[in-house]
Amino acid sequence: MKIICYFTLLMIIGCSNNTRKWYPTKTAIYNSSSFQVGDIIVKDKLITDPISWMGHSSVIVDDNIIGDFPKLGEKYYTIDINSWLNEPERRVVVLRYEHFDESFKQKFLENIKLYGKGKYKMSFSKKTPDNFYCSKFVWFLFFKTAQDLGYNLDLDSDGGPIVFPYDFLKSPLLKEVYQN
């Protein structure tokens, strides 16, 4: 019973309402040529699938390539954006850090190589450089890249010790990549 209560609380905290516009994955695939390295894609939650109750997030790591920690026990992998978004029942929001310039991109790509290994594991501290899960990996890449460039950056809208995919939706530092 404690586990159910804890999980329900996490779901409520991690999946609160947002004001971003959701798009069908088909629309995102159609507009994927406008996406850039560093763009964050947040998938909505599926009530019928407990694994997706927290939503899911990943980041574009190359032209039309997603870098992802998919689920518990799985390793980090890269996949083309069309395959990753091939879930017609889901919707997505695509977000961009507006200060993602060439120097940030170069350090960001170095950090992907450095931290994009290992298996998906839960962690109760988003600042540790191991035990990644989907949204922690995305958050940590931005946090560490900014730190390496000499400034602080926290894309987690509530600033808590755990970052959920939906926490990116309320970050004032991320702008929507509009889709037509």
How far is residue 83 CA from its own chain's centroid? 17
Q: Single out the residue of 81, 76, 41 nearest to residue 57, CA to CA.
A: 41
Residue 8's pLDDT is 42
Residue 177's pLDDT is 95
Residue 53's pLDDT is 60
Residue 140's pLDDT is 96
For residue 39, the 8-state DSSP code is -
Most confident option among 36-40, 84-88, 113-117, 118-122: 36-40
Q: How confident is the model at residue 137 (pLDDT cuts 50, 70, 90)?
A: very high
Q: How confident is the model at residue 51 (pLDDT cuts 50, 70, 90)?
A: low
- Model confidence at 116: pLDDT above 80: yes
C-beta separation of 77 from 68 below 8 A: yes
Phi, psi dihedrals of residue 86, rounded to the nearest 5°: -75, 65
Q: What's the average model confidence in pLDDT over 43-64?
A: 79
Angle of CA points 70, 73, 79, to nearest 5°: 30
Q: Identify which has the larger pLDDT, 105 or 127.
A: 105
The CA distance from 131 to 118, in Å, is 8
Residue 48's pLDDT is 57
Look at the chain and report how many structural domains it folds into.
Answer: 1
CATH of the domain at 101: 3.90.1720
Q: Identify which has the larger pLDDT, 10 or 107.
A: 107
- Model confidence at 54: pLDDT above 60: yes
Residue 174's pLDDT is 97
Q: What's the average model confidence in pLDDT over 11-19?
A: 50
For residue 7, the enclosing domain spans: 2-176
Q: Single out the residue of 112, 154, 159, 161 nearest to residue 137, CA to CA.
A: 112
